[in-house]
């Protein structure tokens, strides 16, 4: 038995992939959920114009834990008008030093209230609390400082002979974000757009509204942001969100969500020829080359399918293994999934919590049931009754056809498909054989060999032997139907700048 196959050792290694929970961390079960129900429009925290609200539900129990303002078309219209005025009539777009100061103020406010944010985030989306010490909360707060620094240090103008090349803020940005890693997604868009000199209207997901409305409250209470520069409109209405894609006062749209919805955003934005940045779905392949230590790597690689309950676009949900090792790899993958600790998301020892809602459970169950007709179910495959909430057990399929729905479509649940390949060329062909191109993963006993294979994958990001492609200074994004544009890094900042060429002559 490999070290990773031992349950106790494997548990330690698996949980080590996430940030450590401090020994003095407060117990979430002892904290009150506070939430933030109000919109931020033109510098004011307020309810929806018609008084409407919608419930915020804890996915681990299915219970309503609070509410959020259900913004109306009128509220969104007012937010767009405020953002347009703030861009056109204030000095915001031209004062990089002031922008950097305001972003640092927001960063400090987030850091000051991180424990309240942590409790609300776990309650709102059901993520394992361990994730909040990493990419769900603490790391995005830390990364926000990169945008403040970039705003100050960036060279907005360069000269080629007598010609000036100027990079100027795009204008008013509509940001529409998903629920699965909400604070990370919101800070990636809002931070870059504000740093570049744009004004912003943020529409958070109705499944995680507090992540966005908290930002609004902290911005108005703790920063010098002028009224209208940053607005937050939570709403359960798709029509309200759609205004950000069609209104001519909006210059650019940044969207994170499904590929299907991203296509609709792109089509709607075409009417006014807005710039569109899309971070969409993925069907990432985890390619295990023939020279790896399968006993050590497979259980760990399989466990990634359960990260955030499988609800992340970059997760490697396809495990590609050599045909001659396929059956042993299936056994090891089953061991890995069996040892994934899951359950109560407030328990620091757990790696996986629930799915987000009933609709997602039904979607995952439907895909699993259909996959049984052409693939071999090895482990899991069913929702779990825990007395409430939206739970689905870690699930493993073997003998998965590379052209099947399970191999081609994003599940967004803790479901792993093991796909055998003949040789290295076949592995690359299978990895590239989807409409997506977000992330990829390669494992090899020789890092240079692994890197050579990584170069052949049509993906925006590839990790070799567990290397990281995520960081404040690293561009994040995909190819093909996984999206358009980048977030984070200087590339993410420049998405919100426009290029102007000024040729200067002489009349003397």
CA distance 430 to 75: 47
CA distance 246 to 307: 35
Is residue 313 part of the annotated active site? The answer reads yes
- Please report, in angstroms and rounded to a whole number, the separation of the first and last CA atoms in the chain: 85
Total number of residues shown for the chain:
508
Kindly tell me the burial class for residue 95, based on how many C-beta atoms sit within 10 Å of its own C-beta (0-12, 13-18, 19 or more): middle
CA distance 287 to 89: 53
- Please say whether the beta carbons of 131 and 14 come within 8 A: no
Q: Of 480, 476, 447, which is closest to residue 464 (Cα–Cα)?
A: 447
Please give the biggest Cα pair distance in the chain.
Answer: 85
- Please say whether the beta carbons of 136 and 181 come within 8 A: yes
| Ramachandran sector of residue 495 (left: φ over 0; alpha: ψ -120 to 50; beta: rest) | alpha
Residue 254, both tokens: 């940044």
Which of 279, 335, 487, 495 is labelled catalytic?
279
- For residue 298, how far is the Cα from the chain centroid? 25
Q: Of 201, 209, 200, which is closest to residue 182 (Cα–Cα)?
A: 209
Which of 313, 329, 494, 495 is labelled catalytic?
313
CA distance 460 to 313: 12
| DSSP symbols for 483-502 | EES-BSHHHHHHTTEEEEEE
CA distance 132 to 150: 25
At residue 66, what are phi and psi to the nearest 5 degrees?
Answer: 170, -165
CA distance 189 to 49: 26
CA distance 483 to 190: 18
User: Using CA atoms in the order 449, 450, 452, 454, what is the torsion angle rounded to 10 degrees?
Assistant: 170
By three-state DSSP, how is residue 392 classified?
strand
Is residue 127 part of the annotated active site? The answer reads no
- Please say whether the beta carbons of 429 and 285 come within 8 A: no
Residues designated as active site? 279, 313
């Amino acid at each position: 038995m490999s070290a990773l196959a031992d349950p106790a050792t494997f548990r330690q290694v698996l949980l080590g992939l996430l940030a450590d929970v401090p020994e003095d961390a407060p117990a979430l079960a002892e904290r009150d959920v506070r939430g933030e129900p109000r919109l931020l429009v033109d510098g004011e925290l307020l309810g929806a114009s018609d008084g409407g609200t919608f419930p915020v539900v804890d996915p681990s129990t299915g219970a309503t834990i609070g509410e959020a303002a259900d913004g109306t078309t009128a509220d969104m219209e007012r937010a767009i008008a405020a953002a347009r005025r703030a861009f056109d009539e204030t000095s915001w777009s031209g004062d990089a030093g002031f922008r950097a100061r305001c972003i640092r103020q927001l960063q400090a406010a987030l850091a000051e209230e991180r424990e309240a944010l942590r409790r609300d985030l776990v309650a709102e989306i059901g993520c394992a609390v361990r994730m909040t010490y990493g990419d769900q909360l603490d790391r995005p707060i830390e990364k926000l400082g990169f945008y403040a620094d970039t705003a100050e240090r960036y060279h907005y103008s360069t000269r080629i002979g007598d010609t000036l090349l100027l990079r100027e803020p795009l204008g008013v940005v509509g940001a529409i974000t998903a629920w699965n890693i909400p604070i990370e997604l919101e800070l990636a868009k809002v931070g870059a757009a504000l740093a570049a000199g744009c004004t912003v209207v943020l529409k958070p997901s109705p499944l995680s509204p507090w992540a966005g409305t908290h930002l609004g409250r902290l911005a108005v209470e703790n920063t010098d942001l002028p009224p209208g520069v940053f607005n937050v409109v939570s709403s359960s209405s798709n029509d309200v969100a759609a205004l950000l894609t069609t209104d001519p006062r909006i210059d650019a749209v940044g969207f994170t969500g499904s590929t299907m919805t991203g296509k609709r955003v792109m089509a709607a934005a075409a009417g006014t020829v807005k710039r569109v940045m899309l971070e969409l779905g993925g069907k990432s392949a985890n390619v295990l080359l023939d020279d790896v230590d399968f006993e050590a790597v497979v259980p760990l690689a399989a466990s990634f399918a359960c990260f955030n309950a499988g609800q992340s676009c970059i997760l490697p949900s396809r495990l590609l293994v050599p045909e001659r090792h396929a059956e042993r790899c299936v056994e090891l993958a089953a061991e890995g999934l069996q040892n994934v600790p899951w359950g109560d998301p407030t328990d620091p020892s757990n790696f996986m919590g629930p799915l987000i809602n009933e609709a997602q459970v039904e979607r995952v169950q439907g895909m699993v049931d259909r996959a049984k007709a052409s693939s071999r179910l090895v482990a899991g495959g069913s929702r779990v009754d825990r007395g409430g909430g939206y739970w689905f057990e870690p699930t493993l399929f073997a003998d998965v056809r590379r052209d099947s729905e399970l191999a081609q479509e994003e599940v967004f649940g803790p479901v792993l498909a093991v796909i055998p390949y003949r040789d290295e060329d076949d592995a690359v062909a299978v990895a590239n054989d989807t409409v997506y191109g977000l992330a990829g993963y390669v494992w090899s006993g020789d890092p240079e060999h692994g890197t050579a294979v990584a170069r052949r994958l049509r993906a925006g990001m590839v990790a070799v032997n567990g290397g990281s492609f995520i960081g404040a200074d690293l561009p994040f994004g995909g190819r093909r139907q996984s999206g358009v544009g980048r977030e984070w890094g200087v590339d993410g900042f420049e998405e919100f700048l426009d290029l102007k060429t000024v040729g200067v002559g002489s009349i003397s």
